[in-house]
Chain A
Amino acid sequence: MTRIKSRFAETAVIAALTALTAVTTMLVRVPIPATNGYFNIGDVFIILAGLWLGPRAGFIAGAFGSAIADSIGFPVYIPATFIVKGFEGWITGMLARHATTGSIMRPGLAAVTGGLSMVAGYYIFEAYIYPMIGQHIPMFNITDPGAAFIALFPNAVQGISGIIGGLALWKAIASGSQTSNDNNEQSVAGQNG
């Protein structure tokens, strides 16, 4: 996790990552008829938020960014998405705490856990929770265990793509921050003689 020094700047970055999650999820979505859901590329920014700014940022970007995207066209998935994607960002951030760009192992494991939690989370919602709620509220009766099994595959692909993208972007940003901080420290040291 790479801290941004100003808390306001951190808020701005979290807001930007949330918006980017919403935009990338919303703009490119390919429908999956089996589950009435869709394939998207928004997970990159959820993993990035978790790795870069920690569990709180990961949760906000995942839960709110993706739920905003679902609110247009797929409102029935908002509760599942809020919990599953929020947890994805949160768990990534939790496990990646104290990670540095020196080793890829810890952030890598954190990102993989985040991605797996997303795949497992959607499966649980689509196979068990939604059919159960659907018995009382017909709106939620859109999936069943068979459809949830089919959705495992696109979700896994979406997860892998998000893990690798988030990790790659985090490494580039974190290395950049490190270089920038080093330069600033050198210039301050130079000014101080």
Chain B
Amino acid sequence: MSVFEFPGFLKLQNLRPWWLKMAVLMLIGFPLVSNRPAGLIAAGLEKFLPEMPGSILAWPLITFFIWACCLPSLGTARLLDYLAAAYTMAITTVVSGAVLREILPVVFTADVSADSFRLLRVYFNILAVFPYSLTFLNAFSVSDLLSRLTKTRGRFRSAGLHLALALRICQHVGEVIPKLLLVWREENPDLLLPRCRDDWQGISPLIRWPMWFIRSISQWIFACIILTFEPIPVMVNEIEQINESRDSNDPH
């Protein structure tokens, strides 16, 4: 995919030292964990635009800000991949919530409009948190951490190796999740036309439809598990080798 390449100084992963990177990332993510920025923006907007609930604009503006911060680090193609997964997740969550509201009105407040506000907030939160958390994880390099650890001794080295492994696995899972839609399509190319399957001749629709449903879901879960867990032993092995090589080089 031909995309615009952002200059290196805009990429969060290039920020040094690591604590400055961490501070900048936490500053960007602050509106996601605190109501204050959204509240301030909403109050400001309500003064400027009366008869308009400011929150409708405040949450999306925060989401757009987070996307804009993540874009140079991730690049257009990768950000769109993450957003595809985020949108799928957000729409599924919000629509399920809205359906539950219709089915179980007791669980929700009597005010439908307030519930819609809440659902919209959840929607934009998911859209912001998903790419932000993956940007956060990918901003730190495991190989840099490992090269630092090779120069370290004592208990910090073991803790550091565990941290490096955990970070690597989190990065890997983050890479797998956005590909779930692709996995679904690859595992179920006949998703839309299950009636045309040759091996289902003579089977009642009452049986074959639930069969198709269960099989497609189980195949998807199986593929997800394989994709997620398959490389973990290799990663663990690599870290163990680094650990052992250091141990063997130790003079005592």
Which residues of A does B touch, CB under 8 Å?
6, 9, 12-13, 23-24, 27-34, 39, 41, 44, 101-105, 147, 150, 153-154, 157, 160-161, 164-165, 167-169, 171-173, 175-177, 179-180, 183-184
Contacts and interface: CB of A to CB of B under 8 A. Distances in A.
Nearest to B183: A176
Contact of A23 (B52, B95, B184, B193): B95
B98 A28 contact: yes
B189 A184 contact: yes
A9 B189 CA distance: 12
Contacts of B124: 161
A147 B91 CA distance: 29
A44 B116 contact: no
B193 A154 contact: no
Contacts of B87: 44, 165, 168-169
Interface of chain B, main secondary structure = helix
Given A103-B1, A161-B60, A176-B185, A171 B51 contact: no
A104 B1 contact: yes
B175 interface: no
Contacts of B99: 27
B119 interface: yes
A180 B185 contact: yes
B52 A32 contact: yes
B53 interface: yes
Interface of B: 1-3, 45, 49-53, 56-57, 60-61, 63-64, 67, 76-77, 80-81, 83-88, 91, 94-95, 98-99, 113, 116-117, 119-120, 123-124, 127, 178, 181-182, 184-186, 189, 192-193
Contact of A150 (B51, B67, B81, B119): B51
Contact of B186 (A101, A103, A165, A176): A176
A18 B118 CA distance: 25
B192 A160 contact: no
A28 B186 contact: no
B185 A179 contact: yes
Contacts of A171: 77, 80-81, 84
Contacts of A184: 189
The 3 closest A-B CB pairs, nearest first, are A176-B185, A27-B98, A172-B84
A176 B80 contact: no
A65 to B, nearest CB: 14
Given A165-B83, A176-B182, A104 B77 contact: yes
B2 A102 contact: yes
A32 B81 CA distance: 32
Contact of A154 (B52, B80, B98): B52
A34 B182 contact: no
Contacts of A164: 67, 83
B1 A102 contact: yes
Contacts of B86: 168
Contacts of A161: 60, 63, 124, 127
Given A13-B192, A104-B3, A160-B64, A169 B88 contact: yes
A40 B116 CA distance: 10
Contacts of A24: 91, 94-95
A41 B94 contact: yes
Given A161-B63, A179-B182, 10 more contacts: A24-B95, A28-B94, A44-B91, A101-B1, A153-B52, A157-B57, A161-B124, A167-B80, A172-B84, A183-B186
B95 A160 contact: no
Contacts of B119: 28
B84 A168 contact: yes
